[in-house]
Amino acid sequence: MSKTAPAGADPAPVLALKGVSKSFGSVRALRDISLELRAGESHALAGENGAGKSTLIKTLAGVHRPEAGTVLLDGEPAVFHGPADARDAGIAVIYQEPTLFADLSIAENIFMGRQPRRTLGRIDHAAVHAATGALMERLGVDLDPGRTARGLSIADQQIVEIAKALSFDARVLIMDEPTAALTGSETARLFSVVETLRTEGAAVLFISHRLGEIFDLCRHVTTLRDGQLVASEPLEGLTEDELVRRMVGRDLGELYPKQEARPGGTALTVRRLTREGVFRDVSFDVREGEIVALAGLVGAGRSEVAQAVFGVDRADAGEVRVNGQALRAGSPTAAMRAGLALVPEDRRQLGLVMDASIERNIGLTGLRQLRTRGLVRRAGERARASDWALRLSLKYGRLSDPVGFLSGGNQQKVVLAKWLATEPSVLIVDEPTRGIDVGTKAEVHRLLSSLAADGLAVLMISSDLPEVLGMADRVLVMHEGRLVAEIPRAQADEESVMAAATGRAGSRGEAA
């Protein structure tokens, strides 16, 4: 793969940001960011979760309007009133989560909003179908253009997204972690397509958590941290360690204050848990005082396992035991009573009632204990909330403020408080630090670590590899609905976890 641009001086930027800032409420997502994308050049965007990468992409895609600074298209200031404007300017975006219409056919998904027309402005369905077939051929995949998108694997959905970008000969191709859910061969296929587009003159902006891919594919890297620009430089001469330090801003040891674990008895036992078509034969234990990470690619079925363990989804087969007692399947109430707590991935949708106050949210799991003759005691609710706010060093104005006013990190603390208040013996956390600033992230890590030191069994689902490696006593790895590896802390490194997560046989740790 050639990384060099065509001979001669740097070509003029096709798309650029100049001094762009963007805030959401009190959170400043981007501060004075500048970036230049050149034709025929692959540019990497690096940064931790919550650094502002997604916001930056959505600004380039016309989804967000910057409140300061300008977007430059071919050197001229451009205002995108919406995603359609950006698309018409030749900017294609492939989001982390594929955005397909499940009920419509693949062909319709690709050409939605810009179908070829025949007389009287009618859609030329035959042309749509044929063009889709041609795109699939160009991508070397065997997908029927007439098939509905419902039920497509993540990799195939990604392919449809790429076909969409190809279909309008994008001049700028922006990819937000496109390889997160792909296997090795799928990634190679994707990269060869991207390389073809690049040599044909497209500018590429590439985001990946796999640093190796960044070094393979890109020539230039821009690093963000907490919404600010850290550096924009050629990758040549840069080492992976240097890049990580730019992203994180401190040493990893400082970031992951892991205390020595002294595992006790088995707190959570999962045996042959199966949900048809989602995951199969998942068995593992979590002991008191231990942090076990559940790693894997997006779509491997990790969150689904957590939800089945907690009883939100009903498993088709298998058994869950908490402190030796079998759990009634499909009942979160029974799970809570047995001492299980689940902090879900999506705190806005599943973890919090955004319009309700901090104290109400924290009190939500304890309505049973807070009740006298069927009525909830306000004073008890407030006492419980202020107690936990103090213990988690929550930053807030008043406990009666709506949770929606808090920053992401503090919202996450409220979710944690809400569940810790039930005094669980097993805590399941799903992506505990997604979208949280680095400072608060470290606080959450310190908290999890000290909870484990006090004897709590912690099962942590995380896509953040440094977090997995920094926090876990043991790493369980899932691949396509199966538990494929169990790697002890000493042997867990980026290579071994990624190898198992991408299903590369032979390089597994101690297979579970």
Partner 1 sequence: MSATLRAPEPADTSQPSPAGAKGGSLAEKVLRLREFSIGAALVLLILATWLVNPSFLDDQGIKDLLLNASILVLLATGQSVVVLTRNIDLSVGSVVGLTAFACGSFVSGTDHSAVTVLLLGIALGTVCGLVSGALVSFGRVPALVVTLGMLYVIQGLDHAWAHGEQINAANVPDAVLTLGSGSVLGIPYLPILSAVVLAATAYFLRAYGSGRELYAIGSNPEAARLAGIPIRRRVLTAYAFSGAVAGLAGALWLARFGTVVADAANGWELTVVSAVVVGGIAITGGVGTVWGAALGALLLTTIGSALVVLKVSSFWEQAITGALLLAAISTDRVVRGRTTRALRKRSRQ
Candidate list 10, 101, 262, 348; residue touching partner 1; CB under 8 A:
101
Task: Look up residue 438 and give its two tokens.
Answer: 């680095």
Interaction between residue 93 and partner 1 (CB under 8 A): yes
Interaction between residue 356 and partner 1 (CB under 8 A): no
Other C-beta atoms closer than 10 Å to the C-beta of 200 total 11
Interaction between residue 144 and partner 1 (CB under 8 A): yes
Q: What SS3 state is found at 482?
A: strand
Q: Considering the complex, what minimum distance in angstroms separates the CB of residue 421 from partner 1? A: 33
- CB neighbours of 456 closer than 8 A, spacing ≥ 6? 288, 289, 424, 425, 426, 427
Interaction between residue 317 and partner 1 (CB under 8 A): no
Cα 303 from chain centre = 12
Angle (CA) 17-22-25 rounded to 5° is: 175
Q: Considering the complex, what minimum distance in angstroms separates the CB of residue 186 from partner 1? A: 6
Between residues 86 and 500, which has the closer beta carbon with respect to partner 1? 86
Q: How far apart are CA 241 and CA 244, in angstroms?
A: 5
Contact 133, 111 (CB under 8 A): no
Q: How far apart are CA 344 and CA 347, in angstroms?
A: 6
Contact 40, 198 (CB under 8 A): yes
Q: Considering the complex, what minimum distance in angstroms separates the CB of residue 150 from partner 1? A: 6
Bridge partners (DSSP) of residue 35 are 17
Angle (CA) 238-36-112 rounded to 5° is: 115
Interaction between residue 313 and partner 1 (CB under 8 A): no
Sheet holding 325-326: strands in order across?
A: 279-287, 266-275, 317-322, 325-326
Interaction between residue 418 and partner 1 (CB under 8 A): no
Bridge partners (DSSP) of residue 428 are 342, 459
Angle (CA) 370-372-376 rounded to 5° is: 50
Task: Look up residue 311 and give its two tokens.
Answer: 């009883």
Fill in the DSSP letter of residue 436. -
Q: Considering the complex, what minimum distance in angstroms separates the CB of residue 184 from partner 1? A: 10
Contact 226, 47 (CB under 8 A): no
Residue-by-residue DSSP string for 202-233 = -EEEEE-S-HHHHHHH-SEEEEEETTEEEEEE
Name the residue type at position 277: G
Between residues 115 and 274, which has the closer beta carbon with respect to partner 1? 115
Between residues 194 and 293, which has the closer beta carbon with respect to partner 1? 194
φ/ψ of 206, rounded to 5, equals -125, 130
Fill in the DSSP letter of residue 476. E
Interaction between residue 330 and partner 1 (CB under 8 A): no
Binding mask 449-488 for partner 1 (x = CB under 8 A): -------------------------------x--------
Q: Considering the complex, what minimum distance in angstroms separates the CB of residue 61 from partner 1? A: 8
Between residues 81 and 373, which has the closer beta carbon with respect to partner 1? 81
Binding range to partner 1, per CB under 8 A, among 68-76, 108-116, 266-274, 484-492: 108-116
Binding range to partner 1, per CB under 8 A, among 107-115, 304-312, 378-386, 446-454: 107-115
Other C-beta atoms closer than 10 Å to the C-beta of 216 total 15
Task: Look up residue 393 and give its two tokens.
Answer: 């060093």
Interaction between residue 192 and partner 1 (CB under 8 A): no
Q: Considering the complex, what minimum distance in angstroms separates the CB of residue 173 from partner 1? A: 15
Interaction between residue 151 and partner 1 (CB under 8 A): yes
Binding range to partner 1, per CB under 8 A, among 105-113, 192-200, 248-256, 327-335: 105-113
Which run of H or of E encompasses 37? strand 27-38
Task: Look up residue 234 and give its two tokens.
Answer: 């050629």
Interaction between residue 85 and partner 1 (CB under 8 A): yes
Q: Considering the complex, what minimum distance in angstroms separates the CB of residue 82 from partner 1? A: 6
Candidate list 140, 264, 330, 404; residue touching partner 1; CB under 8 A:
140
Binding range to partner 1, per CB under 8 A, among 146-154, 227-235, 389-397, 431-439: 146-154
Binding mask 286-305 for partner 1 (x = CB under 8 A): --------------------
Q: Where are the beta strands (DSSP E) in 166-301?
A: 172-176, 203-207, 220-225, 228-234, 266-275, 279-287, 291-296
Candidate list 2, 9, 26, 121; residue touching partner 1; CB under 8 A:
121
Interaction between residue 133 and partner 1 (CB under 8 A): no
Between residues 240 and 276, which has the closer beta carbon with respect to partner 1? 276
Candidate list 240, 242, 276, 387; residue touching partner 1; CB under 8 A:
276
Between residues 119 and 372, which has the closer beta carbon with respect to partner 1? 119
Interaction between residue 163 and partner 1 (CB under 8 A): no
Binding range to partner 1, per CB under 8 A, among 110-118, 224-232, 285-293, 501-509: 110-118
Fill in the DSSP letter of residue 148. B
Candidate list 6, 77, 82, 212; residue touching partner 1; CB under 8 A:
82
Candidate list 48, 176, 186, 443; residue touching partner 1; CB under 8 A:
186
Q: Considering the complex, what minimum distance in angstroms separates the CB of residue 145 from partner 1? A: 8
Residues that bind partner 1 (CB under 8 A): 61-63, 82-87, 93, 95, 99-106, 108, 112-115, 117, 121-123, 125, 140-144, 146-148, 150-153, 155-156, 159, 183, 185-186, 189, 276-277, 480
